[in-house]
Amino acid sequence: METGRFKLRFLPNEADEGEGLNHPGLEHYLSHPYAGMARETGQNSLDARNSDEDPVVMVFEKKMIKAGAIPDLDELSRVTDICLRQAKDKKEVSFFEDAKRILGNEQIPVLVISDHNTTGADGEQFHALTKSTGISEKGEADSGGSFGIGKFAAFAVSDLRTVFYATCFEENGTEKQLYHGKTLYRSFEDPDATEHNSRRATGYWGNSSDYSPIDSPGNVPAWMLRDNTGTTVFCLGMRERSEQWAFETFTVLLRNFFAAIHEKKLVFKISNNDGNVHEISSDNLKENLDSKAVSDTAADLQIGEQLESARALYRCLTDPDAKQEQIEIGEAGKFTFRILLRDNIGYHFGFIRNGIFITDNLRAFGQSFSRFPMYSDFACLVWPSDAATGAIVKTLENPRHDELTAERITDPIEAQKRKVAFKKLASRIRDLLKENARQDPEDRVDLDELNEFFASELEQGDDEGDDESLTKVVITKVETKKPTPDRKTDPEGPDTGGESGAADERGIHGGPGPGHGDNDGDGTGRPGDDSGDTVMGFRKTYVTDTRVVQDKTSSKYRIIHFTPVDTGTVRLKVRSQGITNNDVIRIRKAGSLRRFANKIQTRVTTADRQSVAVELEIDFRGALLCDFEIRPGDPA
C-alpha cells in the first residue's frame, strides 16, 4: 500500500511569529475535553443529516493503531524532538515529553468518531473543517453550529494535538472522498529545512506540495477508509485518562441531546475497545437517563444538577399530561412553550434548538428563571417552532452554544431589536409559568407591623417580576417524621459547631427563602460559634448554594452540590433535620472518596462547584443538613 503522498508538513513562518501551545480555540475545551468533543461532534453530525426518515448514527470508538500504520509518523517524532529542545516553559516541556513517550510506543491509542446517514462534507465544508478558523460552512441557517470553533474540540482529546479527517460525499451523482490531517504544536526553528527554517505551529497531513487533502483512497492507510457517505474524525494519541472517557462521553450526550434522541434524529454508540457497545436511542433513553452509573459520572464531572434537569425536561417532553401552547413575538419569532406540573420534580427550565439543549436561563434578557416563590414544581421547555425562528436564535448563541445574548451582534440597531424582542419573549415565558404553576395559599396572615423592621429589604420585591409581597407569611401544616438515628459516637469528637453548610428548608425548589420539601435543601452554609477550633488541622468553613438531591431509585442515595469559598481538603458529614435533634447519619460510601468515620473527604477549590454522590447506611427520606470543615493542602 502506498502512503507516500500522505505527508506531514508545517507551514513556513516567514514573519517569524511566535506561537505557543495556548491555542485560543482549544482553551474552550481543555477543562472537560471529552464533554466538549461529544457536544460539538454530535452537533456537527446532526447538521449533516441525510434523511428525515432515518436517524444519524454516531459511533465513538477507541482503537489501538500500530505506529507503523500511521503515515509519516517519523516526521511528527522528529518535530516533537525539535520542539522539546526549543520549549520555553514547564507546560511546553511536559507536553512534548509526553508526546515523545506516546510516539515511542508500538501502538497509538486513537479515538475514532464516525457518523452515518449523513451527507459527508463537500469540498467547501471540508476546507472549513480542516483549514478555516472562525468560519462555519453549514447549509441551513438554523444549523447547530455558528462560530466554526467547535472543530477544535477534537484536538482537546489528543495528547499529540493531531487529528485526521476522512469524508465521503456525493457530487453530481459521483461519490468522492477526501482525507486530511492537522497538527497544532508550537512555532519552531527547523535545522534540517533547506529553506524557511522558521516554521509555524500548524502542520498539515496530505499532499506535501500544496498542503491539500488526499482525494485517492489508495494513498491513505486502510484504517482511515470510509465505505459510505459521512465523516470520520481520528484523534491521535487519545488523551490518557481512565476508561471513564466512555461514561463521560455517554453522560454528556444524554444531557445535551435528549430531545434529538427522543425525536429519533440521533443514535449514539460508544465502544471502549473491550468488545462492549453502549447505545443510546429513543428505545432506551429513559433507562439510560436514570442509570446510576450515569448519575455517578455526572457527579464526578460536576454536572449532577444538569443531568437531574435533563431527566425532568425529558419527562416534560414525553408526558401526555404536559400542556403546550404557541408564543409569537414579532422580531423574535414563533416558539413552542411546554410545561409539566409534577410533585417533587423541582423547578427546571430549558431552551432547546434543533433538539440540542442550549441554556437554562434567559438572563441576558431579564429572566434567570431561578426564583419561583409559591410555585408548584414544574419542568418547562421552550424551542423555536420553525426554521426561521431557529435562525434568529442562532445569532444570539455564544461560541459554546450554552447562552443567549444580543451583545455579540455587531450592528447596534439589530442588536437592540433582538434585545427588545427577546425581553418580551422572556417576560411572556415568565407570565406563562405564573399562569400554569403559581399557587395562591389558602391561609394568609398579615404581618404589617413588622414592616418597619424589614422594609429596606422587603420593598425590593422579586427582581424577576414576581410581585407577591414578602410581608405575607404562609401558614401550612408540616408533617415531620423522625429518622432512625445513628447513636454511635463520632470518633472525631462531638459536633460542637453550628450548622455549617446547612441548607434553608425549602425542598428541591431552588428559590431563596423559607419553604418546604422532601428531597432537597439549598442555602448558604455558616460556621458555628467555635468555627476557629480545629481537629487534625480542620476548621469549620463556609460554603454557598448547598443543594441535596435524593435519587429517585432509592432513599439511601443523595447527590450533594455545593460551592466552596476556600481551597483545600474538605470533610463533609450529613445529619437529619429534626425538630429538637439533628442526628448524624453515617455515609456508607461516596464513590472513590475517602471516608473517615461519619465524614467523607475531597479536594476543593474556591468557587469551583462540587457535586458528590453518596450512599447512606440507612433509608432516609427526610431533609438533610450538611456540615463542612476544611484544612489547607491535598487529602492525606
What was the pLDDT predicted at 52?
81
Question: How many Cβ atoms sit within 10 Å of the Cβ of residue 601?
Answer: 18
- Going 83 to 84 to 85 to 87, the CA torsion angle's sign is positive
What's the CA gap between 370 and 356, in Å, rounded? 21
What's the CA gap between 440 and 292, in Å, rounded? 37
**Average confidence (pLDDT) per 10 residues, the chain, 636 residues:** 71 92 79 86 87 91 95 97 94 96 97 94 88 58 42 91 95 92 96 88 92 92 94 93 79 94 96 82 95 87 87 97 97 97 93 94 94 92 96 87 87 94 97 92 50 44 46 46 45 36 34 37 40 61 85 84 89 77 82 80 88 88 87 79
Amino acid at residue number 192:
D
What was the pLDDT predicted at 141?
46
Q: What's 75-116 look like in SS3?
A: HHHHHHHHHHHHCCCHHHHHHHHHHHHHHCCCEEEEEEEEEE
Output Rg (C-alpha) for the chain, integer angstroms.
27
> With a threshold of 0.75, does the pTM exceed it?
no
Phi, psi at 383, each rounded to 5°: -150, 155
Helix (H) or strand (E) holding 460: none
What was the pLDDT predicted at 442?
54
What was the pLDDT predicted at 523?
41
What was the pLDDT predicted at 242?
58
What was the pLDDT predicted at 135?
52
Helix (H) or strand (E) holding 251: helix 245-262
What was the pLDDT predicted at 100?
98
**CA 141 to chain CA centroid, nearest Å:** 25
The alpha-helical segments, DSSP class H, found in 263-303 are 285-289, 292-300
What was the pLDDT predicted at 408?
84
What was the pLDDT predicted at 116?
94
Per-position DSSP letters for 32-56, written without gaps between them: SHHHHHHHHHHHHHHHTB--SSS-E
3-state secondary structure of 66: strand
What was the pLDDT predicted at 591?
80
Q: For residue 214, which of 5, 390, 391, 381 has the smallest C-alpha distance?
A: 5
Amino acid at residue number 187:
S
